A and B are shown apart, each in its own frame.
Chain A
Amino acid sequence: DTAVSQTPKYLVTQMGNDKSIKCEQNLGHDTMYWYKQDSKKFLKIMFSYNNKELIINETVPNRFSPKSPDKAHLNLHINSLELGDSAVYFCASSPDSYEQYFGPGTRLTVT
């Protein structure tokens, strides 16, 4: 049973396109997150939702818009993709605001 899943696993697209990444967790956790891992493997939080409400919104370009249709899902939509958006995006969920469970990552390549 996959706890936190993301689709797609790989995404290759051209600059200027709009794309979405989906995340689902079946752990019953209230809190979900999006992280960006850059080419130097630095991991930075982007957003966090608790029970469908946005609670963390880091300094992220407004081309990035998270959406949480229910507490088991947190999707990430990116408009007007740029070369610098190329990274691995990790979704995570948490039961208690401390330990986090990560998805397998989505490797986004913008050409």
Chain B
Amino acid sequence: AQRVTQPEKLLSVFKGAPVELKCNYSYSGSPELFWYVQYSRQRLQLLLRHISRESIKGFTADLNKGETSFHLKKPFAQEEDSAMYYCALSSSGSRLTFGEGTQLTVNP
């Protein structure tokens, strides 16, 4: 069975500080990993996916198969980054399994 764990429900940092949102997964095959973001009272939207290896809004995430992790990082957090972040895993088929989410607050 596949599972995604985000150990921090809440994360608070100051503007300009580095931020790392943790994500660990368990899956026996070769996973596709994603980060989705939900700004206050808005729809979820894709932030980035591991296979594209791109940086979106200054965020990056590296898939570490040895540690089964896909942590989301940004070197300098901005207030507009405050949102709910979900790590998600997709196996073959049509299922996305989401982690429980981390609420990030960036304080001025």
A interface with B by C-beta (< 8 Å): 4, 31, 33, 40-45, 48, 50, 55-56, 90, 92, 94, 97-105
Contact = CB atoms under 8 A, between A and B. Distances in A.
A55 B95 CA distance: 10
Q: Interface of chain A, helix or strand or loop or mixed?
A: strand
Interface of B: 32, 34, 42-46, 49, 84, 86, 90, 92-98, 100-101, 103
Given A99-B34, A102-B45, A104-B42, A42 B94 contact: no
A39 B98 CA distance: 16
B95 A41 contact: no
Contacts of A99: 34, 46, 49
Contact of B94 (A56, A90, A101, A102): A56
B56 to A, nearest CB: 13
A70 B44 CA distance: 24
Contacts of A48: 94-95
B32 A98 contact: yes
A97 B94 contact: yes
Nearest to B102: A41
Given A33-B94, A56-B94, A99-B46, 18 more contacts: A31-B94, A41-B103, A42-B100, A43-B98, A44-B98, A45-B95, A45-B96, A48-B94, A55-B94, A94-B94, A97-B90, A98-B90, A99-B34, A101-B46, A102-B44, A102-B45, A104-B42, A104-B43
